[in-house]
Amino acid sequence: MNYEIESKLAGEFFQDCLKTLTNKAHDYAQKEDCFSNFKTIAQVCHIKTEKTFLQFLVVKIARLVELIDQGKDAKNESIEDTLKDLANYSCLLALYLRSEKP
């Protein structure tokens, strides 16, 4: 794969990520606070909000390890969808950390 194709495909991948991020924000978070669901989890579990993002990242990584190491076929969510979720959780954590800076 050359750089031109890589750039095109990466653009498509991140556009899909953004679409998923926007759609899930509608379903999971309050309109005024896109981190409200993570804050709720943190409060219920008595952990820092940042840790909730890490928990979701680790769950997705564990899923990938299971699928790849065991050679399983994904039944509900493709490996690419899981990778998009990882990208989105990473993005959300970065945005949350920015929002918490004075």
Three-state DSSP class for residue 30: strand
pLDDT value at 73 more than 90: no
Predicted local confidence at residue 70, as pLDDT: 87
> Are 71 and 79 a contacting pair, CB within 8 Å?
no
Predicted local confidence at residue 85, as pLDDT: 96
**CA 41 to centroid of chain Cα atoms:** 15
> How many Cβ atoms sit within 10 Å of the Cβ of residue 34?
18
pLDDT tens, residue by residue, 4-14? 999 999 999 99
Residue 71 has which token pair? 């050679």
Residue 33 sits in which domain range? 3-100
pLDDT tens, residue by residue, 18-32? 999 999 998 998 989
**Mean pLDDT score, 54-82:** 92
> Are 53 and 92 a contacting pair, CB within 8 Å?
yes
With 0-12 / 13-18 / 19 or more C-beta atoms within 10 angstroms meaning exposed / middle / buried, residue 50 is: middle
Number of separate domains in the chain: 1
